[in-house]
Amino acid sequence: MSETPPRSDVRAVRRALVPRTARRTPQTSSVDDRFFRHIIRSMRNGVLAIHRDGRLALMNDEAYRIFALTKTAEDVGRRFADVLCERPEIVRVLGGAFELSHLPNRAELRLTDLDRVIGYTLSQVKEDEGAPRGAVLFFKDLTQVEQLEERERLRDRLASLGEMAAGIAHELKNPLAGIEVMAGLLRRQVSDSKDAQSLLADIISEAKLANAIVVEMLEFVRPVRLQVERTSIAEVVQQSVTMAESKAERGSVDVTVDLERGLPHIQADHHQLCQVFTNLLANAFEALGRKGHITITAATGAMDNDPAFVGVHPPTPTVVVDVADDGPGLKADVTEKIFDPFFTTKVTGTGLGLAIVRKIVDAHDGRIDVSSDEGVGTRFRVTLPITSSAVWFK
């Protein structure tokens, strides 16, 4: 699969990169050529070079991987615009290589079709006397870095929202308790008036409801402290289905559980994971409105942790649990808000269910992703490391 760039092209790049004085005899030059070819092939960056007349000079394996293109023996020497016709954004960037006076350095570009972001530098390959002979694009896949940054941003946002919520909850707790107590006292004083009794009963039950919201809010802002133990996903799933049934109406919703055979136990907090899947299942029951299907699947997988170490450290072994329903799905503008605390589309919802889910999954060094098609259904994917390094998370 890993085809080396042709010697003549490597020489052209080398000629442009290595000063004339540093060039050696024919023997050392062929050793150098091989060395340069190895450099380009082994680079963990994408490298793509073109000739001045628009022909592709070289493209290394990482470049093919990032652009999701299949390498063919005829690519080198063809017009780069033809080879890269599926990546028009790149064709546009390379097209400006000989026209722009300042070429982009450390610029970023989104490959929309692939939903991938690359960071790149474009340089001209020049002859000794300065005439450009070609151009070379160095680039790196930044998608994982972006996702990491997005998670960090969300974590910061949740932290500041959490602080604000904690303050409000704290301030509300006392007056709410006061209202409940005073309404109770008043109730005793007007025991002969039926109307007053019923109004006061309403005041007490509303105050209780407000108090329950405050308690949930405080629960949400409290740091997650994990009691890590050997946890069976099968047991977590089974208990969560029962707990979700007491939280939301199941009706005739059909639940299918499909776990990979020999699924390993994971290092996790059993009770908190039950809370994760209970919330996801309760949401699915609510979305389905008493009829439809929920499928829970679990299988082993692997995830890369730190993008800087992709290919260096082996990926972390994980268990991937999917909770999928065939309910109404999510609108695109709703999808990005569902993990925000207090975001709800329900009359009686607090909007804390998924915010708590995310917090617990984060505490396990895990990931949660959602994919949804309006009118088709929603799938939440929870990825959890089999061995967790996290003991507590603020």
How far is 70 from 65, CA to CA, in rounded Å? 8
Shortest Å distance, C-beta 153 to ligand ATP: 19
Partner whose binding site includes residue 366, from Mg ion, ligand ATP, none (CB under 5 to 8 Å by kind): none
Return left, alpha or beta for 64; rule: phi > 0 is left, psi -120 to 50 is alpha, else beta. alpha
> Is residue 378 a contact point for Mg ion (CB under 5 A)?
no
Q: 3-state SS of 28-65?
A: HHHHHHHHHHHHHHHCCCEEEEEECCCEEEEECHHHHH
- Residue 377: enclosing H or E segment and its boundaries? strand 377-385
3-state DSSP assignment of residue 1: coil
CB of 263 to Mg ion, least distance (A): 26
- The span from the CA of 132 to the CA of 52, in Å, is 7
Question: Per DSSP, which regions of the chain are E strands?
Answer: 46-51, 56-59, 107-111, 116-126, 132-141, 224-225, 229-231, 254-259, 266-268, 293-303, 316-325, 367-373, 377-385, 392-393
Partner from ligand ATP, Mg ion, none contacting 284, C-beta within 5 to 8 A by type: ligand ATP
Query: Looking at beta carbons only, is 111 or 321 nearer to Mg ion?
Result: 321
Minimum separation from the CB atom of position 273 to Mg ion (A): 16
Encoding tokens for residue 240? 């969560």
Choice between 289 and 315, CB closer to ligand ATP: 289
Helix, strand, coil distribution of the chain in percent, nearest 5: 45, 25, 30
Q: How far is the CB of 293 from ligand ATP (least distance, A)?
A: 12
Q: Which is nearer to ligand ATP, 187 or 337 (CB)?
A: 337
| In contact, 352 and 339? CB cutoff 8 Å | no
Rank residues 157 and 346 by Cβ distance to ligand ATP and give the closer one.
Answer: 346
Partner that binds at residue 338, options Mg ion, ligand ATP, none, CB closer than 5 to 8 Å by kind = ligand ATP
Tell me: does residue 45 bind Mg ion (CB under 5 A): no
Let me know: does 221 contact 163? Beta carbons within 8 Å.
yes
Q: Which amino acid is at 246?
A: S
Q: Decide whether 5 or 353 has the Cβ nearer to Mg ion.
A: 353
Q: Closer to Mg ion at the Cβ: 353 or 366?
A: 353
Report how far Cα 391 is from the mean position of its chain's Cα atoms. Answer: 22
Total Cβ atoms within 10 A of residue 58: 23
Part in contact with Mg ion (CB under 5 A); list of ranges 81-89, 127-135, 209-217, 277-285: 277-285
Binder among 46, 329, 341, 353 for Mg ion (CB under 5 A) = 353
Give the binding range for Mg ion (CB under 5 A) out of 47-55, 225-233, 276-284, 314-322: 276-284
Q: Which does 346 bind (CB under 5 to 8 A by kind): ligand ATP, Mg ion, none?
A: ligand ATP
Q: How many angstroms separate the CA atoms of 275 and 257, rounded? A: 18
Phi, psi of 51 (to 5 degrees): -80, 165
Q: In Å, what is the CA distance from 180 to each residue of 195, 210, 219?
A: 18, 11, 21
Query: Which of ligand ATP, Mg ion, none has residue 330 at its interface (CB below 5 to 8 Å by kind)?
Result: ligand ATP
Q: Which residues bind ligand ATP (CB under 6 A)?
A: 279, 283-284, 287, 325, 327, 330, 338, 343-346, 349-355, 378
Question: Binding segment for Mg ion among 9-17, 27-35, 196-204, 275-283 (CB under 5 A)?
Answer: 275-283
Range in contact with Mg ion (rule: CB under 5 A) among 102-110, 130-138, 280-288, 379-387: 280-288
Residue 134 binding target from ligand ATP, Mg ion, none, CB below 5 to 8 Å by type: none
Task: CB nearer to ligand ATP: give 272 or 378.
Answer: 378
C-alpha 33/C-alpha 23 separation (Å) is 11
Q: Which helix (H) or strand (E) holds 109?
A: strand 107-111
Under rule CB under 5 A, residue 283 binds Mg ion: yes
Which one, of 323, 374, 390, 362, lies nearest residue 157 by Cα? 362
Pick the stretch among 12-20, 28-36, 240-248, 279-287 that binds Mg ion (CB under 5 A).
279-287
Name the residue whose CB lies closest to ligand ATP: 353
**Which partner from the list Mg ion, ligand ATP, none does 350 bind, CB cut-off 5 to 8 Å by kind?**
ligand ATP
16 token code pair: 């442009």
The Cα 255–Cα 382 span in angstroms is 18
Which among ligand ATP, Mg ion, none contacts residue 278 (Cβ within 5 to 8 A by kind)? none
Residue (353 or 377) nearer to Mg ion, CB: 353
How many residues touch Mg ion under the rule CB under 5 A: the total is 2
Applying CB under 5 A, the residues found at the interface with Mg ion are 283, 353
